[in-house]
Structure formats: C-alpha cells, structure tokens
Amino acid sequence: MITGSGFMEAKHEQDPGVEPEATGRRANVVVFDLDGVLVDSFGVMRQAFSAAYAEVVGEGPAPFAEYSRHLGRYFPDIMRIMGLPLEMEEPFVRESYRLAHQVRVFPGVREVVTTLRDNGIRLAVATGKSGPRARSLLGQLNMVQLFDHVIGSDEVARPKPAPDIVLHAMSLLGAQPHEAIMVGDAVTDMQSARRAGVRAVAALWGEADEADLLRAEPDVTLWKPAELLTWLRVDGADPAP
C-alpha cells in the first residue's frame, strides 16, 4: 500500500536537462538511508550498544529503547543527547564491525535497487553511520557497487536532521532537489529531506516507529520495498494508483 500527503513541489532553479515527469518518472535520483531501509541491522545495533554500555558505563540494563528513538543521527550526537560518555563510540564501532556478518539485506531490497540502477536512476546512500563503516558493510553484502555514492555522517559538517548529507548527495550526483527523493525510516530522515527541499519517503518495512514516522508527515509512505518502483513509475512497474 502506498500513501501520500499531497506534497506540493517547491519551485527550484532548474538545470537544463530531462525533468523527471518528462521521463514518465516521479524522480531521477533516490537517496537512501541505510539501517532499517536497505539492511536489517537492529539486532546487531542492540548487541553492540549493550556491549559498549557495559564496557564504558558498567552494570545495569543498557537504555537501548531510548537509543533507538534517535536512530538516523550520528552516534556521538546520540550520546550527547542521552548524556552518555562519548567513549562508548569506540567499543560500539568495534562490536558493530565484529558482528557485521549478522546484518542482512531486507527481502526485495536488492532487486529494487538493481532495477532502479538498470533504469538509469542515480542512487546514493546517506547514513548516520560513518562513511567507512557504511561502505564496509555494503561491501560485505555485495551491494556497494550498486550506488553512485555512499556518504556517512562523518563526511558532512552537520549530520541529520540537518540537510547537509542530502544536499551533499545531490551535489555529487549533479541533481536538483525537485529531481530527488529521500527514503528513510526515521523522523531525522524526513527532517533532513524536507530541509534539503527533497520529497520525504517513509519506509515502514523494518522496525521503524510507525506512529512517530507518520506524525512527521512524509510525502509518501511505503510498506514494501517494491512499492517504491510502482510509485516512481520505473519501467516494468505497474502504474501507481
């Protein structure tokens, strides 16, 4: 099921070239979040966070539920928001690398990304992870080559919910905001997209907090990866309702 909020596209200065609607598509560029959108990494995050908390803070239950409410942000920013030691980053990253083999691509995502690429849509990843860790993970999953660019929060001045990472992706792709969408599973993704002038697409096939995400009023809401093909009107997809 695909739902939309009646997004009215802002008028932007446009480069000469092909407009999305001229191709029959709704966008020529897709910027994806990573965790919870492309890959199912929630279990690994929980293990890594719990190990880092025990190592740096000590005994007691790790506040993972609170941590998960801030997903999409850069890890050091989450630590500041939660009042936890920044020293947790080193063991969290170490354990995330060690457990990376447990991360899986969501069913249907690889096929959707491949279809988008085969149809000439330019693709980027804009993640709360660091760039090296994101590229390493996608490399292990044999997916990094499917994207034109993979950008981490450590590679922009201000991470999500600021627009910098989305704007950087569009700059690298030579795209204008009206050509692009951002697909994410967190409120911070929706905020980053909106502030960049890009349509915000909510992905609800992972473990996102559906109520929080819908309150952020995404422009489009998708419950299955394949619905992205239908909504974009790429070749081989049924017309969107």
Catalytic machinery residues: 33, 35
**How many alpha carbons lie under 13 Å from residue 179 in its C-beta half-sphere?**
22
CA–CA distances in Å: residue 210 to residues 7, 196, 215: 19, 23, 9
* Cβ 100 vs Cβ 35: under 8 Å: no
User: Which residues does residue 126 pair with via DSSP β-bridges, in sequence order?
Assistant: 151
CA atoms of 179 and 213, how far apart (whole Å): 23
Q: What does DSSP say about strands 220-222 and 104-105: parallel, antiparallel, or unpaired? A: unpaired
Query: Exposed (0-12), middle (13-18) or buried (19+): which is 14, by Cβ within 10 Å?
Result: exposed
Closest Cα to residue 117, out of 235, 202, 33, 196? Answer: 235
Angle at 136 between CA 133 and CA 140, to 5 degrees: 140
